[in-house]
């Protein structure tokens, strides 16, 4: 679905430098005489606003792209005037981020969570579709309620997956997924469920006081990739705010497999949730960055 063409070029400001035309991915801008004009088909516009971003006199306006201009409530400095981090400090941030599984008993303000969403949506998205959705769980009550919905799903799954004929039948319909789950996850999920019932210990979110769900509405070209790119933005930005985060794949699986969960949370059934991020203040600060197995990139020189 394409948005109506809204890009306008003010001829009194435009000096015909053609920079806008040179960066337009849809090639719908051309310079006629000494003024740039939108001359191509309206439905090709991606609303990426690259044209506005390069225009020296600021003659180009793309309303759909400025609606979401970053205004961060919890960050005093304007992002547009903040100095860029060096490569070294950026890599230090990336390598220093670790998954947090021990949180302090301190709530995360809604303003911070909303800022993280605004930071998330600076990510690229396929054909600039931006069809992501965000659901905030702002406190332990919501986290525990969601935990119970997830536990209900995994309890039922574990009940049926124990039976070999069930796994065999599932194999015929949906391949190896259930067998793989049984081999890799059944036991540790069962242990986590038993412990949760016995002691109330939260092994899903590890006691995090808040969460951000990132999903997609239908119509995007690359919904999962878009959501995961927004997720990485959020993980890194949270780190700079002194917050700890952890992606929670088990929650994503439960949301995908059990439509009752979305229904009970008021998430429309046509939405898909691709990432669930636990957020909170870490109990223990990391002293050293992550070690990673070294990879050797393949070189293909044509
Ligand atoms: C898609 C995805 C799903 C994940 N799901 C979980 C999860 O359900 N529970 C959890 O504790 N960690 C989860 N993690 C965190 C990984 O275990 C973690 O990123 C990995 O061990 C590397 O550690 P680091 O993030 O501290 O560098 C997930 C990570 C990814 C990328």
- Give the 3-state secondary structure of residue 43: helix
Q: Does 123 contact ligand 1 (Cβ within 6 A)?
A: no
Ligand 1 pocket, mutate which of 213, 247, 250, 290 (most atoms under 8 A from CB): 247
Please state, as a whole number, how many other Cβ atoms lie within 10 Å of the Cβ of residue 12.
7
> Which residues of the chain fall short of a pLDDT of 50?
1-3
Written out in words, the top-level CATH class of the domain with range 8-66 is alpha beta
102 lines ligand 1 (CB under 6 A): no
Does the beta carbon of 98 lie inside 6 Å of ligand 1? Answer: yes
- pLDDT of 55: 95
Domain ranges of the chain: 8-66, 87-140+207-280, 142-199
Q: Output the residue whose Cα is nearest ligand 1's atom 26.
A: 98
For residue 245, the CA-to-ligand 1 centroid distance in Å is 10
The answer to whether the beta carbons of residues 211 and 278 sit under 8 Å apart is yes
Please give the pLDDT value at position 1: 45
**pLDDT computed for residue 62 by the predictor:** 87
- Give the CATH fold of the 87-140+207-280 domain: NADH Oxidase (3.40.109)
- Cα of 162 from ligand 1 centre, angstroms: 26
From CA 239, how far away is CA 245, in angstroms rounded?
Answer: 8
Percentage helix, strand, coil for the chain under 3-state DSSP, each rounded to 5:
45, 15, 45
Is residue 100 classed as helix, strand or coil in its secondary structure? coil
Question: Hey, which of 246, 255, 288, 289 would you mutate to test ligand 1's pocket, going by the most ligand atoms within 8 Å of its Cβ?
Answer: 246
Residue nearest to atom 7 of ligand 1 (CA): 248
From the alpha carbon of 250, which atom of ligand 1 is closest?
A: 8
Residue 2 has a pLDDT of: 47
8-66 and 87-140+207-280, same CATH topology: no
Pull the structure tokens for residue 27: 């090639």
Please say whether the dihedral angle defined by the alpha carbons of residues 162, 165, 171 and 176, taken in this order, is positive or negative. positive
Q: Which helix (H) or strand (E) holds 70?
A: none
250 lines ligand 1 (CB under 6 A): yes
pLDDT at 42: 79
Predicted confidence at residue 65, as pLDDT, reads: 74
With residue 135 as reference, give the H or E element that holds it. strand 132-137
CA 221 to ligand 1 centroid distance, Å: 26
Q: Are strands 29-32 and 60-61 parallel, antiparallel or unpaired?
A: unpaired
How many Cα atoms occupy the beta-carbon half-sphere of 50 within 13 Å? 18
Lookup result for tokens 């004009």: 37
């Amino acid at each position: 679905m394409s948005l109506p063409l809204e890009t306008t070029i003010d001829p009194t400001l435009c000096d015909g430098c053609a920079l806008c035309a040179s960066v337009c991915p849809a090639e719908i801008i051309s310079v006629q005489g000494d003024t740039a004009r939108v001359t191509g088909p309206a439905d090709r516009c991606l609303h990426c606003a690259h044209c506005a971003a390069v225009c020296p006199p600021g003659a180009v306006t793309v309303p759909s792209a400025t609606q979401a201009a970053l205004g961060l409530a919890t960050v005093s400095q304007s992002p547009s005037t903040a100095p860029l981090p060096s490569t070294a400090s950026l890599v230090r941030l990336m390598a220093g981020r670790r998954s947090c599984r021990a949180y302090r008993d301190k709530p995360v303000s809604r303003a911070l969570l909303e800022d993280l969403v605004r930071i998330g949506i600076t990510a690229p998205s396929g054909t600039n579709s931006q069809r992501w959705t965000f659901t905030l769980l702002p406190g332990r009550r919501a986290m525990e309620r969601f935990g119970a919905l997830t536990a209900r799903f995994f309890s039922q799954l574990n009940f049926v997956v124990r039976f070999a004929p069930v796994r065999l039948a599932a194999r015929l319909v949906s391949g190896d997924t259930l067998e793989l789950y049984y081999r890799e996850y059944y036991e540790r999920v069962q242990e986590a469920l038993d412990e949760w019932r016995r002691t109330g210990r939260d092994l899903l979110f590890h006691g995090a006081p808040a969460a951000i769900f990132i999903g997609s509405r239908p119509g995007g070209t690359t919904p999962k990739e878009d959501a995961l790119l927004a997720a990485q933005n959020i993980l890194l930005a949270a780190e700079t705010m002194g917050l700890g985060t952890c992606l929670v794949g088990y929650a994503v699986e439960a949301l995908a497999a059990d439509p009752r969960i979305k229904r009970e949370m008021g998430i429309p059934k046509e939405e898909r949730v691709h990432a669930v991020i636990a957020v909170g203040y870490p109990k223990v600060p990391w002293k050293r960055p992550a070690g990673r197995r070294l990879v050797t990139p393949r070189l293909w020189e044509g």
